[in-house]
Amino acid sequence: MKYKIFVSLFLVSCTTWAQVPAPAPKQVKPVLLTGATLHVGNGTVIEKAAVAFDQGKITYAGPVANAPAATGFDVIEVSDQHIYPGLIQPNTQLGLSEIEAVRATRDDQEVGILNPNVRALVAYNTDSDILPTIRANGVLLVQATPVGGTISGSSSVMQLDAWNWEDAVLKADDGLHLNWPVIPRPTLADAPNVAEVVQNRHNSLLELQQLFTDAAAFTMAVNKKQNLKLAALKGLWEGTKKLYLHANGAKEMIEGVRFAKKNGVKEVVIVGGYDSWKITDFLREQNIPVILSGIHALPNRTVDDVDLPYKLPFLLQQAGILFSLNYDGALHGHRNLPFIAGTAVAYGLTKEQALTAISGNTAKILGIQQQTGTVEVGKDATLVVSSGDLLDMRTNNVTSAYIQGRKINLTDKQKALYQKFKNKYEAQK
């Protein structure tokens, strides 16, 4: 009888664990993490460090010897562990899509071709089952981004522990996403259709130019009626929004950047950037950062080095280009973001350069570097504690994580299922 009661209680508890954990309450007492190796997120490493934070903000980050007195702090000993900034995943549909095969769970795309007025943040689902599995590997912030069409809409930077999208948003409408039309590269097989493809691309560019021209005129107009589509582009000229230019070919990137500059866009970011290593002089001259995608992939062309995608971060680092890394596979795989950086270490980057590419650099590119991205005084206490190397899948083990000083629950559905069946089979031994 006692065994049956235990099993029943265990199954009930598993059902509870399988739900998305409730968001953590606000920090009420100062916290002092002491004894760990601190990886600041800007290339700096401090051995035997301490990090203190209060009311969600970091008040100290440096050697233990200079740390504030422990009086009044909730002191947490983390010796032999590592403290990292919370990792940031840019250009993702996390929170916007749940199950790819179920249309009702996907809210990442709007109908139409030119949708600058679409806002991803209002569709962001804080109850997604995927989010807890992502933050369990140290990813605590994402750039929720719409897809589809030529202009997909506006992305927003969201944190992964909140009751609703209003609580989750860290930076609303940080930029518009433009999918630059691909230049046709015909083969003999599709030669008869080349003229049609070229004409369609030409028409798309004309429509895009007309939209920017109309939006510029709308911005300057004094007496104007409400037009959400045109008003959404205003931030591009004011510098309050970035233009995220999705392109992989060298010609497409150059063409897209020149289009943006000609139309008065203040800040442009390349997303994708497969051929960015070929045009580093151009990118430096124009001050264009890159969000690199497709690091774990085969090369796009048979003439490319077989390991070219793995080497791209190192090539951009050598050229002095500001870049960040983006995991662009299946949504549940976004927890592998730190391991993408780990691959870049195997192909030339130092560990701290790779960490910066998924923390400090990403924060700079998204325009949130004053709030987060590094473990420094005055910034949000959004950080991760791991007992091993966060970038190595063999030792990565996040023991605790904080978002704006709130210690978040690292339980997720997969951990609950693991524990459930582990107990089941151990009981049968």
Listed in order, strand segments (DSSP E) in 126-258 are: 139-144, 151-159, 169-179, 242-247
Report pLDDT for 15: 43
Percent helix, strand and coil across the chain, each rounded to 5?
35, 25, 40
| Interval 134-162 mean pLDDT | 96
The dihedral sign for the CA sequence 86, 88, 94, 96:
positive
Query: Which residues does 249 contact at the CB level (< 8 Å), separation at least 6?
Result: 182, 183, 274, 275
For residues 19 and 206, which has the higher predicted lDDT (pLDDT)? 206
CATH class of 2-84+412-427: mainly beta
Instruction: Give pLDDT, residue 9.
Output: 43
What value does the mean pLDDT take over residues 9-13? Answer: 43
The predicted model gives 375-396 an average pLDDT of: 96
pLDDT band at 196 (very low <50, low <70, confident <90, very high): confident
User: What is the pLDDT, as a whole number, of residue 192?
Assistant: 65
Question: pLDDT digits over 302-356, tens only?
Answer: 899 999 999 999 999 999 999 999 998 888 889 999 999 999 999 999 999 999 9
Q: Quote the longest CA-to-CA distance of the chain.
A: 79
pLDDT of 104 strictly over 90: no
> Which residue spans of the chain are classified as CATH 2.30.40?
2-84+412-427
CB count within 10 Å of CB 8 equals 10
Residue 16 pLDDT > 90: no
Class of CATH domain 87-372: alpha beta
Q: pTM, whole model, 2 decimals?
A: 0.92
pLDDT at residue 1 is higher than 50: no
Segments of the chain assigned to CATH 3.20.20.140: 87-372
Look at residue 12 in the predicted model and tell me its pLDDT.
Answer: 42
So what's the pLDDT on residue 6?
A: 44
pLDDT tens track for 412-428: 888 888 889 999 998 88
